[in-house]
Structure 1
Amino acid sequence: MAAAPVRAQLPQLGDTGDMGTSAERKLGERIARELYRDPDYIDDPILVEYVQRLWQPLLDAARGRGELTAELDERFAWQVLLGKDRSVNAFALPGGWLGLHSGLIAVTTTRDELASVLAHELSHVTQRHISRMVTQQNQQAPWMVAAMILGAMAASKNPQMGGAIVAGSQGLGAQQALNFSRDMEREADRIGFGVMTAAGFEPQGFVSMFEKLQQAARLNDSGAYPYLRTHPMTTERAADMQARQQLAARAPVQPTLEHAMVAARARVISNAGVDALRGMVAEAESAGLASQPRPRQAGALYAGALSAARLRDAATTRQLLSRLDTAAAGDAEGQRLARLLAAEIAQAQQDWPRVLQLVDPASDRRPEVLLATQAWTHTGRSRDAAQRLQTWVAAQPRDAAAWQLLAAAYGEQGQALRGVRAEAEARVAQLDYRAAMDRFRAAQDMARKATDRSDYIEASIIDTRARQVESLLREQSLER
């Protein structure tokens, strides 16, 4: 409610975009296809679930406030893709896709700080800033705009790679590709602030995250904060945030064990080098850790245990897991993350009975579903795994990892036709329609050659899905 007076003082920018929603959706899918193919793309069940638990309330709040219209809600993807990169970066893309680097998760102290970034990027999309940006690029062809945006994102990780991509798009400036105007940035701040507070997040998170970025800008960002180049810290934004800081003058938000452990996980994923992993183990084993606040201890122990596991140091892994259990005692989400980490380590060792001891197979949360069904498939319970995964993908058809596990479960049962179809659906989930058609055609060939006609229903489903995906592939070819 406190943000309403500020909102009334500023003009709405999002209603003047010339690019239609259908064209923006297609452009977003083109870029998202490339992100799925990027070696740095990750589908980490823990990080993805945590981000989704912040993302969905933000979407609900945007709907409730009228920022997310029914048309955009239906037409756009509203998906967040994670990248394994230690740079502090996030970006809104056409069609409701968002990119988020693990490095940004790693530097946040509270869930509210992370929610503030997601809310800001969400507001860029709902206010059609991307449509306006594309329109301002002199009506460039969509493929050129896609190359320009991909070049800007690549440049945040590798300047040479980014330059090569941009050179291939007729020399368009990579840095300007994702730069919103000052007015757009201020509007995304203002609306994002309202969305995150309406979603139940603490306003101090927006202020403290802004202060972190502002401090990095004052220290002359050396490249670790590409977010500062696409979302520059202007004096106007600073003035707006000072006003919001007064509105948010409450007691500081205390970090939770859950967020500290998720941020620690992101830190390990972002810094996979041996020296970095050893450093995190040393931090977890340091004598001074016991004097730190409990969330700080839990985060350090989580990072240390995961790092020790990746270094294949079994003894240290066991010791740090035991200490992590103690640190998380009495905190439900902290204890759950500690158990899931232990299960993940057992999974890497193919100790499937141990995995099933650590996870709740009846849970409807994605990390447990994926771990339990994989363990079932490896312990003679592939039928149970397939049934559980069938229910899951019916509700979550875009879950490529679940489709792949379903394919493996079908394979264990000798149901090759269903397995190939599940592989095709995994490709569809990641917008790789060409690879999906290859698998659907293989399934059609298998169905024609089969002497047992008992699976005619599955064959009919495959024919229907093949026609649908072939239509999408033709549309994709026409775009080229």
Structure 2
Amino acid sequence: MHAEAASKPLAQRLLATLCAGLMLLPAAPLQAQVNLPALGDSVSDDLSIGAEKRLGEQIMRQIRPDPDYLDDPLLLEYVQGVWSPLVEAARRQGNIGDDTHERFAWEAFLVRDRSVNAFALPGGYVGVHLGLIAITSSRDELASVLGHELSHITQRHIARRIVGDSRSSMAAMAGMVLGLIAASKAGSVDLANAAIMGSQAAAAQASLNFSRDMEREADRVGFNVMVGAGFKGLGMVSMFERMDQAYHLMDSGAYPYLRSHPLTTERIGDARLRLGTEAPLALETSPEHALMAARSRVLMDARAESWRQLQGMDAGVRQTLAHGHEQLAARYASALASIKLRDFSRAEAALQQAEQLQRQTVPDDARVRRDLVFLRAELAHARGDAGAGYLALSALPEKSRAVLMMRGQLAQVDKQPERVRAAAEALQTHVSLQPADAGAWGLLSQLWTQLEQPLRAVRALGESRAAMGDLNGAIDRLRSGLRLSRTRDADQFEASVIDARLRSLLYERRQMLLEMYPRGAPPGAELP
């Protein structure tokens, strides 16, 4: 999304989607005023929860296929481990009612981008740039940002922006929401501005940021949520100060979060006041978080020159400025960057240094050991040595999604069909319980292809498209599966499953078109 070639097509697709979605909203909201409610009050019915949910789903249908929508199982698992307690705390505190809890997605996702940014979307989605994770030094700092963005959703600030500006037309509102996305994903303000087109671009640009009252409310509610979830309130103060320093010392257009969330001394002071009169506990910079921040630094920028710079961290960082876990994170970053560069001997040396540091500094930290096991399995996968990867993973008896996905990736380079089949069947069980896991379905499709099971492969590929929200793509693939099932030795049981699933998706598409076009869909109308 940094490169114009990657960001502009996505922006154009989002503009079309948002215009279509917003045109479905009633005209009455244009005369509404922004009146922030007390905590727990619901937003006006001018923009219903259902309408906001549909708008968020339309946006996500455009984001999920984008190459910079990142499904890194290990890093995503870590972020969800911070996100889920915040959602639960918000529900306990009454910020999330039964209606929104059931209908909104409450999903945090990763964006491969080195800018320091996070953004909330309609319907309960929060995007987190890897550049943001990379600059944090603790789970508490990350939780402060996620709690703030979560509170924009629970207080329905996005809906209020859409229905509250009586001076904006529908086109300007579409540009406003698009601008929020473009500003979050573009590396410069110019790219974000370029996404807002038409004669009302100036009005839309003026609406990009949440109001000062909304920002204060998100700070206040987000602070209570993060503390209620067990995180330290000092994380919000520390994150504010970290970003304020980054803005003054390093900002050259790559910090859109700072512009959409202005860091005034008043807001930083308010955050300190919320800590109370007692001396705040110091933040713990855990080794696990240091490794995940290091992983983000490697994955956020896929340029070889960036990886070469990180590869040089196998010499460590200055001892006078670093704790043991920072030395560990330096070797971790070097090893992962070397894997990406396919410099396997250097990756092995850096990984061995990291494993030795772990034994010396945090011998009892099971999470850090687990992260290093995954890194060793990644090295084995890159080398094409499935056996070594399985051997590393044998130290992890768990059946988490991250382990299943790693085993599936190792099976892609395995020459023994029985192990490939075992990995495929484990993933098949997983997706039967988690049918919305597009990444698992996609990997499963590749494994069934490898096992020469074309019908299962086509079905898994169709389910992957369905999980991404691409109903048209899913239907096309399942139809091709039905055609394939007419061959003599086709698996008729699998063919019947495909037929039933195709009928279900066709019905779902008809219902969605009825919602989008209540007076009848025009000829050739398709889902965005």
Taking structure 1 as the reference length, the TM-score comes to: 0.90
2:64 alignment counterpart:
36
Instruction: Note the 1:336-415 alignment, pairs <5 A.
Output: 336-360=370-394, 362-376=397-411, 378=414, 379-380=416-417, 381-415=419-453
| Separation in 2, partners of 1:471, 1:443 | 21
Residue 239 of structure 1: which of 246, 269, 280 is its match? Answer: 269
> What is the deviation of 1:162?
2.8
Instruction: Note the 1:145-224 alignment, pairs <5 A.
Output: 145-155=173-183, 156-167=186-197, 170-171=200-201, 173=203, 175-219=205-249, 221-224=251-254
2:90 alignment counterpart:
62
> What is the deviation of 1:422?
0.9
1:98 alignment counterpart:
126
**Contact 2:70–2:111 (CA under 8 A) maintained in structure 1:** yes
**Contact 1:186–1:237 (CA under 8 A) maintained in structure 2:** yes
State which drifts further: 15-24 or 411-420. 411-420
Q: What do the CA deviations read for 1:453-478 (whole angstroms, capped 9, x no partner)?
A: 34454244323433244336635864
Is residue 439 of structure 1 aligned with residue 467 of structure 2? no
SS at match of 2:110: strand
1:332 alignment counterpart:
366
| Separation in 2, partners of 1:169, 1:257 | 51
**Contact 1:383–1:413 (CA under 8 A) maintained in structure 2:** yes
> What is the deviation of 1:242?
2.5
| Separation in 2, partners of 1:276, 1:418 | 39
1:267 alignment counterpart:
297
> What is the deviation of 1:121?
0.6
State which drifts further: 21-30 or 140-149. 140-149
> What is the deviation of 1:230?
1.1
Q: What do the CA deviations read for 1:16-52 (whole angstroms, capped 9, x no partner)?
A: 3431111101111122122223332211112111001
State which drifts further: 318-327 or 391-400. 391-400
SS at match of 2:426: helix
Is residue 283 of structure 1 aligned with residue 322 of structure 2? no
Q: Which amino acid in structure 2 is aligned with residue 62 of structure 1?
A: A
SS at match of 1:185: helix
2:521 alignment counterpart:
none
> What is the deviation of 1:166?
0.9
1:418 alignment counterpart:
456
| Separation in 2, partners of 1:49, 1:224 | 26
State which drifts further: 21-30 or 346-355. 346-355
> What is the deviation of 1:271?
3.2
| Separation in 2, partners of 1:204, 1:229 | 22
> What is the deviation of 1:299?
1.0
RMSD, matched Cα? 2.7
| Distance 1:142-1:394 versus aligned 2 partners, 3 A rule | farther
> What is the deviation of 1:85?
0.9
1:229 alignment counterpart:
259
| Separation in 2, partners of 1:346, 1:173 | 53
Residue 349 of structure 2: which of 319, 324, 335 is its match? Answer: 319
| Separation in 2, partners of 1:121, 1:71 | 19
| Separation in 1, partners of 2:420, 2:112 | 31
| Separation in 2, partners of 1:423, 1:472 | 23
2:39 alignment counterpart:
12
Q: What do the CA deviations read for 1:114-142 (whole angstroms, capped 9, x no partner)?
A: 01111111111011111101112449677
Q: Which amino acid in structure 2 is aligned with residue 408 of structure 1?
A: Q
2:22 alignment counterpart:
none
Give aligned-pair identity as a percent.
41
1:71 alignment counterpart:
99
| Separation in 2, partners of 1:319, 1:106 | 24
| Distance 1:341-1:447 versus aligned 2 partners, 3 A rule | same
1:295 alignment counterpart:
325
**Contact 2:317–2:330 (CA under 8 A) maintained in structure 1:** no
**Contact 1:403–1:422 (CA under 8 A) maintained in structure 2:** yes
State which drifts further: 273-282 or 54-63. 273-282
2:510 alignment counterpart:
471
Residue 136 of structure 2: which of 82, 104, 108 is its match? Answer: 108
| Distance 1:455-1:338 versus aligned 2 partners, 3 A rule | closer
| Separation in 1, partners of 2:38, 2:95 | 14
Q: Which amino acid in structure 1 is aligned with residue 485 of structure 2?
A: A
Q: Which amino acid in structure 2 is aligned with residue 417 of structure 1?
A: L
Q: What do the CA deviations read for 1:169-220 (whole angstroms, capped 9, x no partner)?
A: 9525564444111111111111111111111112211221122123334558
SS at match of 1:52: helix
Q: Which amino acid in structure 2 is aligned with residue 49 of structure 1?
A: E
Is residue 130 of structure 1 aligned with residue 123 of structure 2? no
Q: What do the CA deviations read for 1:220-255 (whole angstroms, capped 9, x no partner)?
A: 843222111111123442332120244573231221
- Number of corresponding residues: 471
Q: Which amino acid in structure 1 is aligned with residue 470 of structure 2?
A: D
| Distance 1:256-1:11 versus aligned 2 partners, 3 A rule | same
Q: Which amino acid in structure 2 is aligned with residue 371 of structure 1?
A: M
Q: Which amino acid in structure 2 is aligned with residue 126 of structure 1?
A: T
Instruction: Note the 1:44-59 alignment, pairs <5 A.
Output: 44-59=72-87
SS at match of 1:91: strand
